[in-house]
Homo-oligomer: A and B are copies of this chain.
Amino acid sequence: MATSSFTVGIVGATGAVGQELLRLLLERDFPCERLRLFASARSAGKVITQGGQTFTVEEARAGVFGDIDLAFFAAGGGVTRSLAPDAVAAGCVVIDKSSALRMEPDVPLVIPEINPEGLRQHKGIIANPNCSTAVMLMGLWPLHKAFGLKRAIVATYQSVSGTGAEAVRELEGQVQAHVAGSPIKAQVYPQQIAFNCLPHIDTFGPDGYTGEETKMAQESRKIMGLPELRVSATTVRVPVVRAHSIAVSAEFERPVDLAEARRAVSEFEGAELIDAPENNSYPTPLAFAEKVKCGVGRLRRDTAFDNGLSFWVSGDNLWRGAALNALMNAELMIREGWLKPKKG
């Protein structure tokens, strides 16, 4: 990467996404001169070891961003709202995983392979998309480029790690209780998630859609620059630990050619085409956990639309859907010279 080196902060470093960010930052040789980890006061002082290095967690609060060039916010929307303005005022670039600011007109919402131009136009804060949206667009974007997207109807199969580490423990605990014949307790989710499906992710709005479903529609329009795009989503939690999958049926402006569709997907850098069903070859969440690319397969003409195409995509919600997308945004900014150390 670039030779200049950065002071980097991770806010929310003890959470599921924060931990993945730390791991990926070290594994991908991000040009950090110094890396500082922040979390709530409760976690301050905690020692974290990753990649042979040891970090002491500091309390995330106003005033800590003075020497930081780049801050990854991997906490909830409340933390972003309260601390990101302070970081920006200190001249720090914020890359935020929360949903707090994604739809703000002056906050670019960026997937680096789709709309990198947002990384040049920021005003201090760059938002990262919702995890299901990011995974879905790894299939939908190359197909849109090929045929012109008009409408998408999608259903998700989302893993519990999207809720956080406590949900992973809940699924694990319920499965253990099941095997032991003990009573199954539900605390993180309103109902048992082991051996069940819950059509409920985020809170319900007055129109009957969940926040997650609304995000998938709104964020797709913003990222792809398609304000008229019609999207209808049903988002469902399934007893999978890691990686989300999405069944997509899409209608396009132009006639769809299947060979061209496969070529478009396989040439897109965010996707890996896994599409030989005759050999039982299709993406699964288990196969695409901890993978940089998302797996796209089951491409076929959609039988409900004239210019339609259906596909199935699986991708790591913590990576493509959060930590990796954030990091790739920063890497691209550095490569293009759009991000430089303050003191550089």
Contacts and interface: CB of A to CB of B under 8 A. Distances in A.
Interface of A: 151-153, 155, 157, 175-176, 178-179, 190-192, 195-200, 204, 207-210, 217, 230-232, 234, 236, 238-241, 245, 247, 249, 258, 277-278, 280, 282-287, 297-305, 308, 310, 312, 314
Contacts of A277: 200, 204, 208, 210
Nearest 8 interchain pairs by C-beta: A208-B300, A155-B155, A232-B304, A234-B247, A190-B280, A155-B247, A204-B277, A153-B153
Given A153-B302, A199-B245, A232-B305, 15 more contacts: A152-B304, A153-B304, A155-B247, A175-B178, A191-B286, A195-B239, A197-B285, A199-B297, A199-B312, A204-B277, A204-B278, A208-B300, A230-B304, A230-B305, A236-B312
Given A196-B285, A208-B299, A278-B204, A231 B175 contact: no
B240 A196 contact: yes
B286 A199 contact: no
A155 B310 CA distance: 11
A241 B197 CA distance: 11
How many protomers of this protein does the assembly include?
A: 2
B232 A298 contact: no
20 contacts: A155-B155, A175-B178, A175-B179, A179-B179, A195-B240, A196-B240, A196-B284, A197-B238, A199-B245, A199-B282, A200-B282, A208-B258, A208-B299, A208-B301, A230-B304, A232-B302, A234-B249, A236-B245, A239-B239, A239-B240
A303 B232 contact: yes
Given A179-B176, A303-B217, A304-B153, A284 B236 contact: no
Q: Which of A277, A284, A304 is packed against the most chain B CB atoms within 10 Å?
A: A304
Nearest to A198: B284
B232 A308 contact: yes
Given A195-B241, A280-B200, A286-B195, A155 B234 contact: yes
A172 to B, nearest CB: 9
Contacts of A196: 240, 284-286
A299 to B, nearest CB: 7
A197 B232 contact: no
Q: Which interface residue of A190, A192, A240, A298 has the most chain B CB atoms within 10 A?
A: A298
Contacts of A176: 179
A252 to B, nearest CB: 13
Given A207-B300, A231-B304, A286-B192, A245 B197 contact: yes
A234 B308 CA distance: 14
Contacts of A302: 153, 232
Contacts of A179: 175-176, 179
Contacts of A231: 303-304
A288 to B, nearest CB: 11
Given A178-B175, A191-B286, A298-B234, A304 B199 contact: no
A212 B303 CA distance: 14
Nearest to A191: B284
A249 to B, nearest CB: 5
Contacts of A210: 277
